[in-house]
Amino acid sequence: MMKLLMKRFRPSLPPVAVLMEAPAVMALRVTKPGRGMQPLVKDEEAMAAIVDSAAPGEAAGARLADSTLTRLGRPKRLSLVLGDPFFRMQIMTLNDFPRNEEERIQVIKWHLRKTLNVPVESLRLHYEILQKTPGGVTLWLSGCQEDAVLALEGAFAAHGCEVGYVGSSTAEVHNLVLARGLYPEEGSALLLNRTAGYLSFLFSEGGRPVFFRCKETPSDEDGEMMDARIEQELRLTLAYHRDKLGGGRLAKVLVRSQAPHMILPLDSVLEEGIPVEDVASAAGLADQWSPVWLPLVGLLEGN
Query: ω into residue 15 within 30 of 0, thus cis?
Result: no
Confirm if 247 and 188 have CB atoms less than 8 A apart: yes
Q: Say what the pLDDT of residue 225 is.
A: 81
Banded model confidence at residue 303, pLDDT cuts 50, 70, 90: low
Is residue 76 in some structural domain? no
Is residue 24 in some structural domain? no
How many Cα atoms sit within 13 Å of 192 on the Cβ side? 23
In a shared domain, residues 137 and 196: no
Burial class (CB in 10 A: 0-12, 13-18, 19+), 145: middle
In a shared domain, residues 130 and 204: no
Is residue 277 in some structural domain? yes
Confirm if 111 and 92 have CB atoms less than 8 A apart: yes
pLDDT in tens, 216-244: 987 666 677 888 999 999 999 999 999 99
Banded model confidence at residue 8, pLDDT cuts 50, 70, 90: very low
Cα distance from N-terminal residue to C-terminal residue, the chain: 31
**Residues near 73 by Cβ (< 8 Å), separated by ≥ 6?**
29, 41
Spacing of C-alpha 16 from chain mean position: 17
Is residue 15 in some structural domain? no
pLDDT in tens, 157-185: 999 999 999 999 999 999 999 999 999 99
Q: Is pLDDT of 201 > 70?
A: yes
**Of 299 and 57, which is predicted with more confidence?**
299
> In the predicted model, what is the mean pLDDT of the chain?
89
**Residues near 217 by Cβ (< 8 Å), separated by ≥ 6?**
196, 197, 198, 199, 226, 229, 230
**Of 224 and 107, which is predicted with more confidence?**
107
Is residue 303 in some structural domain? no
Q: Is pLDDT of 33 > 80?
A: yes
Confirm if 163 and 84 have CB atoms less than 8 A apart: no
pLDDT in tens, 144-156: 999 999 999 999 9
Q: How far apart are CA 103 and CA 107, in angstroms?
A: 6
pLDDT in tens, 56-71: 457 778 889 999 999 9
Confirm if 41 and 78 have CB atoms less than 8 A apart: no
Confirm if 81 and 170 have CB atoms less than 8 A apart: no
**Residues near 147 by Cβ (< 8 Å), separated by ≥ 6?**
122
Mean pLDDT of 102-113: 88
Banded model confidence at residue 1, pLDDT cuts 50, 70, 90: very low
Banded model confidence at residue 116, pLDDT cuts 50, 70, 90: confident
Is residue 279 in some structural domain? yes
Q: Is pLDDT of 110 > 50?
A: yes
**Of 78 and 222, which is predicted with more confidence?**
78
The DSSP symbol for 86 reads G
Q: In what order do the strands lie in the sheet with 136-145?
A: 87-94, 136-145, 123-133
Confirm if 237 and 249 have CB atoms less than 8 A apart: no
Task: For residue 44, give the 3-state DSSP assignment.
Answer: strand
Q: Which domain holds residue 223?
A: 183-283
Helices 146-157, 57-72: axis angle to 10 degrees equals 50
Is residue 111 in some structural domain? yes
Q: Say what the pLDDT of residue 96 is.
A: 87
Banded model confidence at residue 9, pLDDT cuts 50, 70, 90: very low
Is residue 226 in some structural domain? yes
Q: Say what the pLDDT of residue 49 is.
A: 64
Q: Say what the pLDDT of residue 220 is.
A: 62
- Amino acid identity, position 42: K
Banded model confidence at residue 6, pLDDT cuts 50, 70, 90: very low
Q: Beta-carbon neighbour count of residue 170 at 10 Å?
A: 27
Give the count of domains, the chain. 2
Q: How far apart are CA 132 and CA 202, in angstroms?
A: 20
